[in-house]
Amino acid sequence: MIKILKYMRRRDWVLTFIAIFFTILRVYFELKIPEYMKQVTELVMTEGATLNSILTTGQGMLLAALGNFLVMIVVVVLSARVGACFATRLRILQFDRVSSFSMEEINRFSTASLITRSTNDVTQVQFYLAMVIRIMIPAPITAVWAITKITAQGAFEWSVAMTVAVVVLLIFITIIFKFAMPRFKRLQSLTDNINRITREHLLGIRVVKAYNAEGYQESKFEDANEELTHTNLTAHRIMMIQGPGMGLVMNGLSIAIYWIGAILIDRAGAGEKIALFSSMVIFMNYAMQIVMSFMRLSMLFVMAPRVAVSANRIREVVETEPTVQDGSFDTSDVSGDYAIEFKNVSFRYPDGADDILRDISFKVKAGETIAFIGATGSGKSTLLNLIPRFYDATEGEVLIDGMNVKDYHQKALRQKFGYVPQTAFLFSGTIADNIDYGDTEGIVGSLASLDEAAAVGQIKSYVDTLPEGYEAPVARGGTNFSGGQKQRISIARAIHRKAPIYLFDDAFSALDYNTDRALRHALKEKMKGATSLIVAQRIGTIRDADQILVLDEGRVVGMGTHAELMEHCRVYQEIALSQLSMEELVS
């Protein structure tokens, strides 16, 4: 927990120290009340004491209580603000760090875990920090101060009773800490697990329903939920010892103090009885302060393991250095020819046993179109992902305009691309928001520019039928659109960016042949001079490309035009003949 405090802002530290000052002031008022109580007790039991003197002392006690109340409000407000501001800071740090992660880090942490770390873990730290300011700081001060006051009373028997009570209290705390800590440590990983299962179920709900797998999913969720519930119940049942245990100690101490006090007062002379009685009253108050201080500390100690786990999980994210690091070159450092070259590139996924790509070499001239085709799992999408540095090549070099992509600043590198992923994804908002998403300068696209991109993407005719037009709402993930519509909007988004390089990762798979043909014709007209890289499964989609690269098990087994590959590449011939007849292929 302490290590994560280095991420607090200076402003939050200032508020923390102000809160600590008021906390100490609160301790002063709390310990001042028993002193006034002793004085009132002595005045009441002293012959000749006036009502005015009693009321004056009572007013001082009331003012101390009022001061304690007001200061407590200030401490609660400040501690809550510090906790909330720190939580905001941690969420921002995690979000920024995750945004800089490559796919390697995203896959290592898992999406479900990253969500839990940004929500549940941060909340744990937030509440604990507020409690530390309110409880952990004043508790030891109160205990030490009260012990000092108790010592001044000089009653050995009472001190022995107090010592026994503290020892029993520490035994309770140790038992709770020993047995509850492992359970609280497990809770976070179990929360990750249930988050993962829930998210997986919701994302795959169509598949679940299609296969009538609701029972299987319910069973998975029930097992995870039962494990989380059992661990939670066990941990909190152990925690339940705290309440009765602390009550037993406090009530037992009260009985012991009164019992010992009664014996001492009975043995004392007439002149000492009043002093002993007032000493017993103030001793009781200070003893309760000490016990309460230990109770508050015990609460924090029991919570500490779970919060420590949460803090470490947050630090893991914030302090993880992305494997893909920025280079020093921005857009102004290159000539802008946008030729792309692979030099003996091999790639292996982290912890993978074998290379996914092996010794890939090719070159695309500026303005050319190159297509990649091959069997499922041959490495086509992986190859495309190396260009914008979603992953870095394990061996070899990926060059743009003669410069290794690792030498570019990532923002400058990705500014060059219009990218359409394999799985079309839309963001919540409107159609206009999604098409204009690549506008990194923050300038809202004009209707003419949206129309142009939508027309090329073959989605304009559909948008024109909507009453809201481009302001038609888009649900999260584009669930209110069909697969083909999402794909066409994604293509329009890439085109609207007017980038010099376009990456299409199997971006035409959901389109019918007529739409595919119209789209390719529009792209050819509107994207003259741009460099295009297309991953596709259909021969018809790529047959007009300047170059076609045929991949098989991560290796290049053919390269050339459609006509050349039909003559010399067996793998390409098999793929082509499985889709079209020979007459269609040669026409």
Quick one: pLDDT at residue 338? 65
Helix (H, G, I), strand (E, B) or coil at 332: helix
Helix (H, G, I), strand (E, B) or coil at 122: helix
Residue 272 corresponds to which amino acid?
E
Q: Tokens for 183? A: 């359970």
Give the H/E segment covering residue 517: helix 513-526
- Can you tell me the distance from the alpha carbon of 519 to that of 527, in angstroms, rounded to the nearest whole number? 12
3-318 shares its CATH topology with 327-416+499-514+528-587: no
- Can you tell me the distance from the alpha carbon of 424 to that of 509, in angstroms, rounded to the nearest whole number? 10
Give the H/E segment covering residue 362: strand 357-364
Global pTM value: 0.75
CATH class of 327-416+499-514+528-587: alpha beta
Q: Where are the domains of the chain?
A: 3-318, 327-416+499-514+528-587, 424-498
Average confidence (pLDDT) per 10 residues, the chain, 587 residues: 82 89 84 74 66 77 87 90 92 90 81 84 90 82 76 68 81 78 78 84 82 86 90 82 78 83 75 71 78 77 78 89 79 64 89 83 88 87 90 90 87 86 86 80 66 87 88 85 87 87 85 82 80 86 87 89 87 84 64
Kindly state which CATH superfamily the domain 3-318 is placed in.
Answer: ABC transporter type 1, transmembrane domain (1.20.1560.10)
Q: Tokens for 119? A: 């929500």
Nearest CA-CA partner of 166 in 280, 26, 297:
297
**DSSP character at residue 134:** I
Strand 369-374 vs strand 547-552: parallel, antiparallel, or unpaired? parallel
Helix (H, G, I), strand (E, B) or coil at 560: strand
Strand 403-404 vs strand 417-420: parallel, antiparallel, or unpaired? unpaired
- CATH 3.40.50.720 at 424-498, yes or no: no
At a CB cut-off of 8 Å and minimum separation 6, what does 178 contact?
none
Quick one: pLDDT at residue 54? 73
How are the residues of the chain apportioned to helix, strand and coil, as percentages rounded to the nearest 5?
Answer: 65, 10, 20
Q: Answer for the pair 535, 506: CB distance below 8 angstroms, yes or no.
A: yes
Q: Tokens for 304? A: 């500490």
Quick one: pLDDT at residue 45? 65
What DSSP line would sit under 47-112, residue for residue?
TT--HHHHHHHHHHHHHHHHHHHHHHHHHHHHHHHHHHHHHHHHHHHHHHHHHH--HHHHHHH-HH
Angle at 574 between CA 569 and CA 579, to 5 degrees: 130
- Can you tell me the distance from the alpha carbon of 536 to that of 557, in angstroms, rounded to the nearest whole number? 16
